[in-house]
């Protein structure tokens, strides 16, 4: 090995050597090039490259990721891989990426394609006979449609041929995994892995599917402590987006960063986040989206239809954490007060009329979880290796050591939303600084580009004339009740210390009352904003009523407002469920029983893992 091989590092210092923040590593580089004796030159070079890439990632953010710097970033990492290969003792972590999927073969294809692209871009671990040495994938299939299962199996074969080892873990394989348990064990694990009959072993829910994967992973990994497990969602990609790169770029070498974090710290569980579409339900985004739509309609009313589109300036309001959430303050975030301005996605020269027609076509994507005015974009505000204490686990992007397989997704059989925050609160109370968050987001796309819809979304019914999200709405409301009840219990010493039934019931009742009042407040705001939007848009003096070319936009807005009225109006199915005392009591009893049995569930799970 000679220093002349490190051309990428040489190019880096030629470009940035004058920066004061690089004086230390620049000095080390110059001394090495001058031939200063060093017993571990290769190791030193690897460390220099690592430091250089961290600096370069900050620099790319400031200059909006020009191709020149993205290429330099990639070449630095390829040089690092070459140096590690020459050392001949690559003992870095191996990764198993687990992707639960249900009836989403096209979105899974996009997800796997982005993972293969990441492997090709940074080459973590290198290849042996065309196969990536340190990356494997497990597809945990919960699909109902046989055709979609077949297509998912085809994906595993396709990407295995391309060098990405991919294992299919479908319904039959999951049942075989359960058959390894005794009938008594399986019965005791019902709240964790469900009790679905073999003839209907599908749509069990993401939490149950993940837990079943835990059992498979335990057998796959055994006692190997040099493997990390990364759970993601099938509607995500291994890229990030920026305002000028909405389709995503490979700006983060995820596997390298994760390997460094787990190798240099006591981390057991790491959670990332997402950029792009929000990770929450439309049930808790309706208020602020209507606020943004009112601003949009007011803006277009002030212009003529053929003026140049005014929606291409960067929005004054940044996305920020939870800016899309109507109750962001409950999670410790300061909710923005003002409306967010739409950022038009059309690139060619166009007028306001074209913008209106295009934007209106996005409106009903909201019911799949897209928020057209409050997209998140990647910001490299902190180094990728910088860790912060975590309290919320994002189930669509978290990495665990095999030692953490005992932390199954709790209360899985209830099929409530907010499972990640619930588990996160438990981990926070028990793991402390071994449960961390890092700025390693994945790009989230709720809908498929070709159709503008999600292939499948639990709790969303599109079979009728109206889109119906009442099932998801119900799961969100009681998921919030479970989360904040759990948070209150943890403050009282749960789950380490048993609490009386009276104490648990009291905290649950208080949480239900507070949450019901909060949902009612948001409902009133939604109704006022929806009525105002209808009045403004249906004003037939507005120019869009005078132009035949605007007919598509008028139809799209009307369809959206009808769906909003169906799902958030006074007689909406979702709110009827929330207001039903009988239904709330039934759900509360389920929640209380789940909380009571959690300690025994953990003991049963630990026993199953140990066998």
Q: Give alpha helix (H) positions in 462-550.
A: 470-491, 501-537
Instruction: Give the pLDDT mean for 426-454.
Output: 90
State whether 17 and 141 are in the same domain.
no
In this predicted structure, what is the pLDDT of residue 26? 66
Indicate whether 266 belongs to any domain. no
In this predicted structure, what is the pLDDT of residue 382? 74
In this predicted structure, what is the pLDDT of residue 93? 97
Indicate whether 419 belongs to any domain. no
Measure the CA–CA gap between 188 and 198, rounded to whole angstroms.
18
The dihedral built from the CA positions of residue 126, 129, 131 and 134, taken in this order, carries a sign that is: negative
* 403 or 458: which leads in pLDDT: 403
Token pair 């999670």 is found at: 331
Which of 200, 234, 268 lies at the terminal end of a domain, its last residue? 234
In this predicted structure, what is the pLDDT of residue 314? 66
pLDDT category, 225, cuts 50, 70, 90?
Answer: confident
Q: Is the pLDDT of residue 453 over 80?
A: no
Relative to beta strand 274-276, strand 245-249 is unpaired
Which of 87, 110, 140 lies at the terminal end of a domain, its last residue? 87
State whether 328 and 464 are in the same domain.
yes
In this predicted structure, what is the pLDDT of residue 16? 81
Percent of the chain with pLDDT over 90: 77
State whether 497 and 578 are in the same domain.
yes
pLDDT category, 27, cuts 50, 70, 90?
Answer: low
pTM for this structure? 0.93
Q: Is the pLDDT of residue 1 over 50?
A: no
Q: Do 442 and 272 form a contact (C-beta atoms < 8 A)? A: yes
In this predicted structure, what is the pLDDT of residue 329? 87
State whether 215 and 144 are in the same domain.
yes
State whether 53 and 104 are in the same domain.
no
Q: Is the pLDDT of residue 6 over 90?
A: no
State whether 325 and 369 are in the same domain.
yes
pLDDT category, 390, cuts 50, 70, 90?
Answer: very high
Indicate whether 262 belongs to any domain. no
Burial 38-66 (b: 16+ CB within 10 A, else e): eeeeeebbbebbbebbbbbbebbbeeebe
CB atoms near residue 175 (< 10 Å): 13
Give me 390's structure tokens.
């975590």
Indicate whether 536 belongs to any domain. yes
Indicate whether 436 belongs to any domain. no
Which of 234, 264, 290 lies at the terminal end of a domain, its last residue? 234
**CB neighbour list of residue 123: distance below 8 Å, 6 or more residues apart:** 77, 78, 81
In this predicted structure, what is the pLDDT of residue 535? 95
Of 7-21, 106-120, 432-446, the least confident: 7-21
Closest CA to 217 of 49, 399, 472: 399
Q: Is the pLDDT of residue 164 over 90?
A: yes
State whether 157 and 22 are in the same domain.
no
The 3-class secondary structure across 229-282, one letter per residue, is EEEECCCEECCEEECCEEEEECCCCHHHHHHHHHHHCCCCEEECCEEECCCCCH
Burial 177-213 (b: 16+ CB within 10 A, else e): bbeebeeeeeebbebbbbebeeeebbbbbbbbbbbbb
Indicate whether 409 belongs to any domain. no
In this predicted structure, what is the pLDDT of residue 14? 80
State whether 355 and 210 are in the same domain.
no
In Å, what is the CA distance from 31 to each residue of 13, 38, 52? 13, 10, 16
Burial 94-107 (b: 16+ CB within 10 A, else e): bbbbbbbbbbbbbb
Return the half-sphere exposure (C-beta side, CA atoms, 13 A cut-off) of residue 270: 27
Instruction: Give the pLDDT mean for 136-142.
Output: 98
Strand order in the sheet with 442-444: 236-237, 442-444, 274-276
pLDDT category, 499, cuts 50, 70, 90?
Answer: very high
pLDDT category, 315, cuts 50, 70, 90?
Answer: low
In this predicted structure, what is the pLDDT of residue 319? 47
pLDDT tens digits, residue range 547-577? 999 999 999 999 999 999 999 998 899 999 9
Indicate whether 189 belongs to any domain. yes
In this predicted structure, what is the pLDDT of residue 185? 92
pLDDT tens digits, residue range 175-216? 999 999 999 999 999 999 999 999 999 999 999 999 999 999
State whether 198 and 106 are in the same domain.
yes
Q: Do 452 and 283 form a contact (C-beta atoms < 8 A)? A: no
State whether 461 and 573 are in the same domain.
yes
Cis peptide leading into 495, omega within 30 of 0? yes
pLDDT tens digits, residue range 456-485? 778 788 777 788 999 999 999 999 999 999
Q: How far is CA 331 from the centre of its chain?
A: 17
Q: Do 234 and 448 form a contact (C-beta atoms < 8 A)? A: no
Instruction: Give the pLDDT mean for 50-56.
Output: 91
Average pLDDT value over all residues in the chain: 91
Q: Domain of residue 504: give its range.
A: 282-374+457-599
**CB neighbour list of residue 2: distance below 8 Å, 6 or more residues apart:** none
Q: Where residue 122 sits, what CATH number does that domain have?
A: 3.40.50
Closest CA to 528 of 576, 569, 489: 569
Instruction: Give the pLDDT mean for 490-509.
Output: 95
Indicate whether 109 belongs to any domain. yes
Give me 364's structure tokens.
């009903």
How many helices (H) and strands (E) would you count in the chain?
Answer: 19, 15
Q: Do 404 and 370 form a contact (C-beta atoms < 8 A)? A: no
Q: How many folded domains does the chain comprise?
A: 3
Measure the CA–CA gap between 211 and 192, rounded to whole angstroms.
7
Q: Do 180 and 134 form a contact (C-beta atoms < 8 A)? A: no
State whether 107 and 79 are in the same domain.
no
Measure the CA–CA gap between 542 and 550, rounded to whole angstroms.
11
CB atoms near residue 473 (< 10 Å): 26
Q: What angle do CA 185, 186, 190 make, to 5 degrees?
A: 120
State whether 25 and 146 are in the same domain.
no
Measure the CA–CA gap between 542 and 512, rounded to whole angstroms.
44
């Amino acid at each position: 090995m000679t220093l002349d091989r490190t051309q990428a590092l040489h190019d880096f210092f030629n470009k940035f050597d004058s920066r004061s923040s690089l004086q230390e590593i620049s000095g080390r580089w110059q001394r090495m090039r001058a031939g200063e004796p060093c017993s571990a030159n290769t190791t030193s070079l690897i460390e220099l490259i690592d430091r250089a890439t961290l600096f370069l990632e900050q620099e790319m953010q400031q200059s909006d990721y020009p191709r020149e710097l993205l290429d330099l970033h990639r070449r630095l990492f390829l040089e690092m891989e070459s140096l590690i290969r020459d050392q001949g003792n690559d003992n870095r972590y191996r990764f198993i990426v687990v992707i639960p999927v249900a009836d989403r073969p096209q979105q899974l294809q996009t997800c796997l394609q982005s993972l293969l692209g990441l492997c090709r871009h940074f080459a973590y671990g290198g290849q042996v006979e065309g196969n990536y040495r340190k990356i494997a994938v497990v597809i945990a299939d919960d699909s109902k449609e046989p055709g979609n299962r077949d297509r998912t199996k085809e994906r595993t074969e396709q990407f295995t041929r391309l060098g990405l080892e991919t294992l299919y873990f479908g319904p039959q394989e999951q049942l075989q995994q359960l058959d390894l348990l005794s009938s008594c064990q399986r019965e005791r694990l019902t709240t964790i892995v469900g009790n679905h009959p073999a003839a209907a072993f599908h749509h069990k829910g993401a939490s149950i599917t993940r837990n079943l994967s835990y059992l498979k992973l335990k057998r796959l990994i055994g006692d190997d402590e040099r493997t990390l497990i990364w759970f993601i969602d099938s509607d995500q990609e291994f890229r990030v987006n920026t305002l000028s790169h909405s389709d995503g770029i490979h700006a983060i070498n995820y596997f390298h960063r994760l390997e460094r974090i787990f190798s240099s710290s006591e981390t057991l569980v790491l959670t990332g986040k997402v950029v792009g579409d929000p990770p929450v339900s439309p049930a808790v985004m309706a208020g602020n989206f209507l606020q943004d739509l009112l601003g949009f309609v007011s803006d277009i009313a002030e212009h003529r239809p053929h003026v140049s589109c005014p929606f291409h300036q960067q929005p004054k309001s940044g996305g920020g954490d939870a800016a899309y959430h109507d109750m962001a303050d409950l999670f410790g975030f300061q909710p923005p007060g003002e409306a967010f301005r739409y950022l038009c996605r059309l690139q060619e020269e166009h007028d306001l009329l074209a913008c209106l027609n295009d934007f209106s076509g996005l409106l009903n994507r909201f019911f799949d979880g897209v928020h057209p005015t409050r997209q998140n974009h990647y910001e490299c505000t902190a180094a990728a290796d910088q860790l912060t204490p975590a309290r919320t686990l994002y189930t669509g992007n978290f990495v665990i050591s095999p030692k953490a397989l005992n932390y199954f997704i709790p209360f899985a059989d209830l099929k409530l939303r907010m499972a990640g925050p619930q588990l996160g609160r438990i981990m926070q109370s028990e793991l402390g600084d071994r449960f961390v968050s890092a700025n390693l987001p994945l790009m989230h796309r709720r809908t498929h580009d070709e159709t503008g819809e999600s292939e499948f979304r639990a709790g969303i019914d599109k079979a009728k004339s109206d889109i119906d999200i009442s099932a998801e709405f119900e799961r969100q409301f009681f998921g919030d009740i479970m989360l904040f009840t759990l948070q209150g219990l943890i403050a009282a010493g749960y789950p380490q210390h048993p609490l009386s039934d009276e104490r648990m019931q009291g905290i649950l009742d208080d949480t239900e009352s507070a949450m019901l009042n909060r949902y009612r407040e948001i409902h009133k705001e939604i109704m006022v904003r929806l009525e105002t939007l209808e009045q403004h848009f249906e004003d037939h003096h507005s120019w869009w009523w005078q132009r035949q070319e605007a007919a598509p936009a008028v139809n799209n807005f009307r369809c959206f407002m009808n769906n909003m009225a169906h799902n958030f109006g006074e007689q909406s199915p979702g709110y009827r469920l929330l207001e039903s005392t009988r239904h709330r009591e039934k759900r509360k009893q389920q929640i209380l029983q789940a909380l009571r049995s959690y300690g025994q569930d953990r003991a049963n799970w630990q026993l199953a893992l140990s066998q």
